[in-house]
Structure 1
Amino acid sequence: MVKKSSIFFLCISLAFQFSAFAQREFLTKSCTAEELKDLLVINQEWVIYPDYSNREAWDKLLGSHKVSLIENGEAYLDYEWKVVRATNYLDYSRTGNRQTMQDPYFDNQDALSALLLAELAEGKGRFLDQIIDGVFMNCEMTSWVLSAHFKISAKEVKNHFPDVNENLIGLYSSQTGAMLSWAYYFFKSEFDKVNLLISERIKFEVEKRILEPYMNMNYWWTALPPYADKKPKVNNWNPWCNANVLQCYMLLENDKEKLAKAVYRSMQSVDMFINEDKDGACDEGPGYWGVAAGKMFDYLSLLEKLTGGKISIFNKPEIKAMAEYIYRANVGNGWVVNFADASAKSKGNPYFIYGFGKAVGSTDMMQFAAYLKSQNPETTIAYNRDIDRALRNATISEALENTTPVFKTPVYSWYPKTEYCFMSNEEGLFLAAKGGYNQENHNHNDVGSFMFYVNATPIFIDTGVGSYTAKTFGPDRYTIWTMQSNYHNVPLINGIAQLPGAQFKATNTRFNKNKKTFTTDISKAYPEDAGVKSWVRSCQLKEDELIIKDLFSLSKTIAPNQINFMTWGEVNIEASGKVIFKVQDETVQLNYNSNLLKPSIETIYLDEKKLNNVWGDYIYRLSFDAITLQTEGEYTFQIKKIK
C-alpha cells in the first residue's frame, strides 16, 4: 500500500547535522592493525552458505528461487563464449564507443554468473563444463579492465588497450576477481576432479591481478597515500573496488598476516569514503546508490562476517542516513529524484534494499523494500553478476516476503551539506530542489534546479543521462546537452549559462521546515560575464501548489534573462499568463506575469535509447524570456494541480 508519512515521522533521522567533513574513521578506530589479526575468522569459516554437496541445505536456502536460478542458467548451456577482440578495445580511442568492448565482456560475465548460481541451485554437475569454459575464457584475457577505465599513461597518450605488464584494479576487474574467487571456493573439488590446473589457474590469476597489486600499488580510488595528501575526490569506485577486493582476499588468502594487512588497508580506504560523505545523500544520483552506499554495505557486511561480528558500524546514524537515501529519493511508481548521472526511473532491488535496511535497523526501509517487491513480484535474488549479493539476498528472502509493504513519502528530507531538499504533502505534490556546486560526482551544471511531481507523475523533469561515451568523462563532457544548465530547470542570466567547477556554486542555501520553503542564491554558479550580483531562488510547497520565485540583482544587462523548465506530455502556452500541462493522467497549470515574461516551446527529440525508454521520443523545453531588460526584479511562477 502507499501511505503518506506524518509530521512526527518527519522530525526524525535527518534532523541531526553532521559536522562538516568530519574525519569519522569508524573502521580504523574499531581496532589497531595488530588487534585485527586476533579478530579474523580464517580458512573461510566465516562463510554462512552450505558446501556445494549439501543439497538439502541449498534447497532450504534457495526455496522458491531454485527454479528460476536453474532456468536462468539453462539459457546459457549452449552459450558461445565471446572473444573481446583487440579492435573492440581500440574502438573506444577511435570513436569514443564503450559498448563495443563492454557488450561481449558483460555478456560473458552474465553467463558465468548465471551458470554458477544455477549449479549451486541444482547440484548435478550439468553446468560445470560451461562454468569451466567461462573461467578459462576469463583467465585467458589479458586484462579484466574495461577499455574506458584504463589510465592515461605518463606520456599523456591515451592508453585504452590492455597491457600484459600492468594489472590495474578497477570496478569490473575487481568484480570479475570476486566472481572467480567464489567459483574457486564452491567448486574447487569439482574442478579438481576434471583437472587440477583449473583451480590453480583461478588462484594464480586472482593473486596476480587483484591481491598483489592491491598491496603493492596505489590507486586514486583508495584515497590512501600518496593520493590522500592530494585530497582526492572519493566516489563509488572506493567501496565498489574495496568490497570486491575484500571478497578475493577472504576467499583465497589463508595466511593470517597477509590477510590482516590487506583487510586493514581496505578499512583505511573505506574510511575515506565514509569520511567524504556529508549527510547521507548520494550526489552521484540514485542510480549510483547501489554501487556507492550500497557497495559500502557489501563491504561492511563482509567485514562483519570476517571478524565474527567484532567490527560492525551499522549502528552509526551516518551509515543509516546513507542507507535510507534510496527510499527518501523515491517518488513512487518507479520514479526517483535523478540529480546527476541517473535515470528518472529505477526499480531498485527489494532484496538488497531490505538487507541494508535490516542491517541499519530501518523499518521504513524494509517496508519500502516489501513495497518494491509487491510492485515487481518477478524480481529475483540474482543481482548483476554479483554472487555475494545474490547469496545474501537468499538469506533474507523469507523475511522480505513476510514484511508488510508500505511506501511512506517523507514530508521532507533535508541534506544540509549536499544541499538537497525533498518535500511532499497529502495532496500528492512532491518537490526536489538542490543547491550544491558544479563539481559534484557525476555532475551536471544544475545548481538551483528542481523537479516537481504530482501523484508520482513527473511534471518538471531532469532529463537524465544518455549512454556513456569517451565524451562523458572527458574534457568535452559539457558539450553534451544533458549536462548543460540551459537544459535544466534554471535560468540563463543575461543569456549566459552556468559553468562547471567547484567555484560555481550555491550560497546561503537554507530550508525552513515550518514554511516548507527551500532558498538558495545561485549567482555564483555563473561566470563574471553574466553580471549577476545575486539570484535568490525560493521554492515553497503549499497545500495545492508550488511557488517558484527568482529575486535577482544584476550589475549590467546584456541580453534578456531566460527561465527554463524541462517537461514532457502536452504543453499549451496559448493563453496569456498561464501554461497548461497534461502529463499522463495529471493536469497542471502554471501562472506567470505576462507583462514580464513571454513563453516559448522547443521540442527536443530523443534519439538516445536510455532517454527515450523513459520519456518517449521527445521532451520539451519551456522557456520564459524577459520582455524588458532590468537590473533588479522578481519572477514568480505559481504551479497548481488541477483537480
Structure 2
Amino acid sequence: MNTLKNEHPRLLLSDEQLKELKTIHEQDPLLKRIVSEVIQEGEGYIKRKPLVHKLIGPRLLSVSRECLDRVINLSLCYRLTSDKRFADAAIRDMTTVCGFPDWNPSHYLDTAEMTNAVSIGYDWLYDYMSPDQRETIKKGLIHLGLEEGVLSYTKRKSGWTRSEANWNQVCNGGMIVGALAVAESDPQYAKVILPEAVKSLPRALKSYAPDGAWMEGPGYWHYATQYTAYGLAALRSALGTDFGLTKIHGLSNAGLAPIYLVGPKGEYLGFADCHTPSYRRPMPCMFWLGQTFSDPEYVADERRVLEKARGSAEHVIWYCPEQNGHLPKRELDFYFRGSVEVVVFRSAWNDPDALFVGAKAGYNQVNHGHLDLGNFELDALGIRWATELGADDYNMPGYWSGGKGGKRWEYYRLNSFSHNVPLLNNQNQNELAKSKFLRCMNGSEPFVVMDLSEAYNESAERVHRGIRMVDGRRAVLVQDEFDLSKPTDIAWGMTTYAGIEVRQGGRVAELAQEDQKLIATALSPAGGEWFIESAHREPPEEANEGVNRLVFRLPKANGQVRIAILLSPVWPQGVTKTAELKQLVEW
C-alpha cells in the first residue's frame, strides 16, 4: 500500500498511457478502427434500458456482465472523446446497480463481476462525478462488493478462495480491482483483500502449468485468463507490482492455448463445458499476455483475429501495435501437459481445408469436465467431422452433481454416450477415472497413445487408445486395444453433423456434409458393423437437431480385442483406403 498511486485514474489505463494511445491512434489503422467500433457501441449503450436485478436460475451473472460491458465501454468513450453523454450514461448504470438490494453473493461470480464493473467506472470517472455521485457509488461498491469480499476471505472461508478453477481468478480479480479503486479513502478493504487474493491466486494460476492449457476447456480459459489480466494489471497500475504472480510457472505459456487448440477454420477443440460450436474470437487478454511476457506471437495472433472481427474497450486498454521482427515457426503438432492432457496434430497452417485432429486425456472430475477420456475431434476439407456437443443448460436439475452416480452423468451431452469414445456394456466411463498419455510423437505420421484403463475398469483390465495421422497426414487412424475381463458389448462411437450412409456389409460408412465426404472404414476386427443412431434428446436437454451418431458395434467380445478405424477425407487427389496395423506398443 505504500506504493499506491493516490490519484485517479489508477486502474488498468493511466492518463499517460491514454495519451500514448491517442498518438498511436493517428498512425495505426487497426487501433483507429477498434476505437471507432467502441464509440459506435457506446452510442448504443447510451440508449439501453436501465439494468434490472433479475436472476436467471441462481445467477445475476448476465446483469453483472452487461453492467461491465456498458460501464467500461462508456467510461472509455468519455476518456477518448470528452463527450459527457458517455460519462452520464455510465454513472446512470453504476448508480442503478448500487441501488440493488445485493449483487447476489450466493453466486459469487456475480458479485465479483459487478464489483469489477463499478470499480473501473468509479476510478475512470472519478474527476467527472459530483461528490454526491462519488459517495453513492462508493457506498454501493463497498457495501455490496467489498464487504462481501472481506467476509468471503475471513468468516466464510468461501470455496472460491481455495479453488484451482476459474472462480478463483474471477472472484479474486474482481475483489482486487474493487479494493484498489477506493484504497486511498478506505484502505481497510485493501489491507484485507490484497494479501488474501495474492495468497489465493497461485492455486489457480498453477493450473496453466506447464504449457498454458486450461483443464476446464477453451471457453473457461478465456474467462479465467481475462480476469487474471484484470486483477494483475490493476495491481501493476495502482501499486507498481503484481507481487510475483506473473512469474508463476505456466502463465507465460497461456497464450499458446488459443493458438494451437483451434482447427483450420478457427473452431476450438471443444472439451469440457464449452459452448459449441466455439470459434476463436477476439480476446483482449491475448494483448495483455503479449505485453506482459513480451511475446510477439500472442500479439500477432490476436491482431490476425481482429482483422475480421470487432474489438472491445479492453483491446484499447491493452492495445499492442504490430510487432517488428521474426515470429517463431509454428509446429504442426503440440502437446499440452497438465491435469488435462491435450494433443493436436495438423497437416498445415493457413489452409482452411487442412487435416486436424485433437485428443484429450486427464481426469473425469475436473471442474466442468465430461466423461470423455480419450475423446477426439477431427477437421478436414473445411468440415468438423468428429465433433463435441459441449455444455447443456446449467440450470437443469443436478447439473452440478458430478460425483460417483451423480445426476450430471445422466445428461447426454456430459456423459460418455455423446462423446467420441468407446462404450463397454452400454455404460459410462468411470466417473472418478484418470487417464494419461503414454507416448506422444511428431513426425510425418504423428501419434499419441493413451491409457484409458481406469475409465473402463468394470469390463476391462486394460484399455489403450492410439490416434495417428497416416499417409503423409492425409488420414487418421484411431486404434483401441482392450484386454476384456468378461464378455463385453463394445460400441465405438463418433458424433457428427454429417449425413451417413453405411455400405459394404456394414464395414464402411460414408459421411457427407457441405458437398464434402469422409470415409470411415473398420480395418479391424473382422466382426462387427457400422450403425447410424440418433443423438436426439427430449427437454429439458438440448435436442441436438441434425446430429448423428456413427457407431461400430462389436457384440459379445472377449479377451484381447483391437478395433482399428480409418477416417479418410475424400481429397480432390483421392482417398486413403487402408493403413498398416500393428500393436500400439510398436507405434
Place the TM-score, normalised by the shorter chain, in its bin. 0.7 to 0.9
> Given that residues 371 and 414 in structure 2 are in contact (C-alpha distance below 8 angstroms), is that contact kept between their aligned partners in structure 1?
yes
Question: Could you report, residue by residue, the CA deviation over 1:42-62 in whole angstroms, capped at 9, with x for unpaired residues?
Answer: 44575574559x997785476
> Given that residues 453 and 460 in structure 1 are in contact (C-alpha distance below 8 angstroms), is that contact kept between their aligned partners in structure 2?
yes
Q: Tell me the residue number matched to 2:579.
A: none
> Given that residues 61 and 395 in structure 1 are in contact (C-alpha distance below 8 angstroms), is that contact kept between their aligned partners in structure 2?
no
1:346 to 276, 279, 288: 279
Assess, with a 3 A threshold, how the Cα gap between structure 1 residues 407 and 351 changes in structure 2: closer, same or farther. farther
**Residue 430, structure 1, aligned to residue 356, structure 2:** yes
Range that drifts further, 624-633 or 134-143 = 624-633
Assess, with a 3 A threshold, how the Cα gap between structure 1 residues 437 and 50 changes in structure 2: closer, same or farther. closer
Shift in Å, 1:455 = 4.7
Range that drifts further, 624-633 or 304-313 = 304-313
- Mapped partners of 2:414, 2:359: distance in 1: 17
Aligned partner of 2:197: which letter?
S
1:571 to 490, 500, 503: 500
**Residue 483, structure 1, aligned to residue 414, structure 2:** yes
The SS at the match of 1:589 is: strand
1:197 to 132, 142, 160: 132
Shift in Å, 1:287 = 0.9
**Residue 601, structure 1, aligned to residue 532, structure 2:** yes
> Given that residues 68 and 113 in structure 2 are in contact (C-alpha distance below 8 angstroms), is that contact kept between their aligned partners in structure 1?
no
Which structure has the higher relative contact order (CA within 8 Å, separation 6+)? Answer: 1
Assess, with a 3 A threshold, how the Cα gap between structure 1 residues 518 and 282 changes in structure 2: closer, same or farther. same
Aligned partner of 1:520: which letter?
M
> Given that residues 61 and 109 in structure 2 are in contact (C-alpha distance below 8 angstroms), is that contact kept between their aligned partners in structure 1?
no
- Mapped partners of 1:609, 1:61: distance in 2: 51
The SS at the match of 1:591 is: strand
Q: Tell me the residue number matched to 2:427.
A: 496
* 1:263-274 to 2 correspondences below 5 Å: 263-274=194-205
**Residue 418, structure 1, aligned to residue 418, structure 2:** no
Shift in Å, 1:126 = 2.0
* TM-score between both structures, scaled by the size of structure 1: 0.76
- Mapped partners of 1:610, 1:495: distance in 2: 20
Q: Tell me the residue number matched to 1:15.
A: none
1:240 to 160, 170, 173: 170
Shift in Å, 1:610 = 12
> Given that residues 84 and 105 in structure 1 are in contact (C-alpha distance below 8 angstroms), is that contact kept between their aligned partners in structure 2?
no
- Mapped partners of 1:262, 1:397: distance in 2: 29
Range that drifts further, 353-362 or 489-498 = 353-362
- Between Structure 1 and Structure 2, how many residues are aligned? 544
Q: Tell me the residue number matched to 2:581.
A: none
* TM-score between both structures, scaled by the size of structure 2: 0.83
- Mapped partners of 1:482, 1:511: distance in 2: 28
Aligned partner of 2:385: which letter?
I
Aligned partner of 1:597: which letter?
G
Q: Tell me the residue number matched to 1:374.
A: 307
> Given that residues 296 and 327 in structure 2 are in contact (C-alpha distance below 8 angstroms), is that contact kept between their aligned partners in structure 1?
no
Shift in Å, 1:253 = 0.9
Q: Tell me the residue number matched to 2:575.
A: none
Assess, with a 3 A threshold, how the Cα gap between structure 1 residues 48 and 103 changes in structure 2: closer, same or farther. closer
**Residue 442, structure 1, aligned to residue 368, structure 2:** yes
Shift in Å, 1:624 = 0.8
5+ residue gaps, structure 2: 26-30, 572-587
> Given that residues 323 and 356 in structure 1 are in contact (C-alpha distance below 8 angstroms), is that contact kept between their aligned partners in structure 2?
yes
Root-mean-square deviation over aligned CA pairs: 3.4
Assess, with a 3 A threshold, how the Cα gap between structure 1 residues 127 and 507 changes in structure 2: closer, same or farther. closer
Shift in Å, 1:442 = 0.5
Q: Tell me the residue number matched to 2:28.
A: none
Aligned partner of 2:82: which letter?
G
Question: Could you report, residue by residue, the CA deviation over 1:480-526 in whole angstroms, capped at 9, with x for unpaired residues?
Answer: 2100101101111122221323xx22256332345622112212113
Question: Could you report, residue by residue, the CA deviation over 1:441-494 in whole angstroms, capped at 9, with x for unpaired residues?
Answer: 201000111111225531111111234214332453222210010110111112
- Mapped partners of 1:124, 1:610: distance in 2: 47
> Given that residues 69 and 121 in structure 1 are in contact (C-alpha distance below 8 angstroms), is that contact kept between their aligned partners in structure 2?
no
> Given that residues 226 and 284 in structure 2 are in contact (C-alpha distance below 8 angstroms), is that contact kept between their aligned partners in structure 1?
no
Shift in Å, 1:114 = 4.1
* 1:579-590 to 2 correspondences below 5 Å: 579-584=509-514, 586-590=516-520
Aligned partner of 1:121: which letter?
L
Shift in Å, 1:102 = 5.4
**Residue 211, structure 1, aligned to residue 146, structure 2:** yes
Q: Tell me the residue number matched to 1:385.
A: none
- Mapped partners of 1:570, 1:407: distance in 2: 37
- Mapped partners of 1:295, 1:371: distance in 2: 23
Range that drifts further, 547-556 or 203-212 = 203-212
Shift in Å, 1:235 = 0.5
1:336 to 248, 265, 268: 268
- Mapped partners of 1:496, 1:270: distance in 2: 38
Question: Could you report, residue by residue, the CA deviation over 1:413-463 in whole angstroms, capped at 9, with x for unpaired residues?
Answer: 242552222122349222211121210120100011111122553111111
Q: Tell me the residue number matched to 2:52.
A: 83
**Residue 546, structure 1, aligned to residue 505, structure 2:** no
Assess, with a 3 A threshold, how the Cα gap between structure 1 residues 305 and 74 changes in structure 2: closer, same or farther. closer
Shift in Å, 1:367 = 2.0
> Given that residues 288 and 318 in structure 2 are in contact (C-alpha distance below 8 angstroms), is that contact kept between their aligned partners in structure 1?
yes
Shift in Å, 1:106 = 5.0
Shift in Å, 1:629 = 2.9
**Residue 122, structure 1, aligned to residue 81, structure 2:** yes
The SS at the match of 2:270 is: coil
> Given that residues 371 and 406 in structure 1 are in contact (C-alpha distance below 8 angstroms), is that contact kept between their aligned partners in structure 2?
no
Assess, with a 3 A threshold, how the Cα gap between structure 1 residues 374 and 332 changes in structure 2: closer, same or farther. farther
Shift in Å, 1:406 = 10
Aligned partner of 1:136: which letter?
T
Shift in Å, 1:184 = 1.9
- Mapped partners of 2:380, 2:159: distance in 1: 42
Assess, with a 3 A threshold, how the Cα gap between structure 1 residues 494 and 611 changes in structure 2: closer, same or farther. closer
Q: Tell me the residue number matched to 2:583.
A: none
Shift in Å, 1:177 = 1.4
Assess, with a 3 A threshold, how the Cα gap between structure 1 residues 141 and 540 changes in structure 2: closer, same or farther. same
Q: Tell me the residue number matched to 2:37.
A: 68
Shift in Å, 1:251 = 1.5
Assess, with a 3 A threshold, how the Cα gap between structure 1 residues 419 and 58 changes in structure 2: closer, same or farther. closer
Aligned partner of 2:126: which letter?
K
Question: Could you report, residue by residue, the CA deviation over 1:25-77 in whole angstroms, capped at 9, with x for unpaired residues?
Answer: xxxxxxxxxxxx5554444575574559x997785476624433332222233
Aligned partner of 1:346: which letter?
Y
> Given that residues 369 and 400 in structure 1 are in contact (C-alpha distance below 8 angstroms), is that contact kept between their aligned partners in structure 2?
no
Q: Tell me the residue number matched to 1:535.
A: 463
Shift in Å, 1:122 = 2.9
**Residue 466, structure 1, aligned to residue 379, structure 2:** no
**Residue 136, structure 1, aligned to residue 95, structure 2:** yes
Aligned partner of 2:159: which letter?
W
- Mapped partners of 1:83, 1:535: distance in 2: 53
Aligned partner of 1:557: which letter?
P
> Given that residues 342 and 360 in structure 2 are in contact (C-alpha distance below 8 angstroms), is that contact kept between their aligned partners in structure 1?
yes
**Residue 629, structure 1, aligned to residue 562, structure 2:** no
5+ residue gaps, structure 1: 1-36, 151-169, 224-232, 383-389
Range that drifts further, 485-494 or 627-636 = 627-636
Q: Tell me the residue number matched to 2:236.
A: 304
Assess, with a 3 A threshold, how the Cα gap between structure 1 residues 173 and 121 changes in structure 2: closer, same or farther. same
Assess, with a 3 A threshold, how the Cα gap between structure 1 residues 420 and 288 changes in structure 2: closer, same or farther. same
- Mapped partners of 2:139, 2:252: distance in 1: 38
Q: Tell me the residue number matched to 2:574.
A: none
Range that drifts further, 104-113 or 489-498 = 104-113
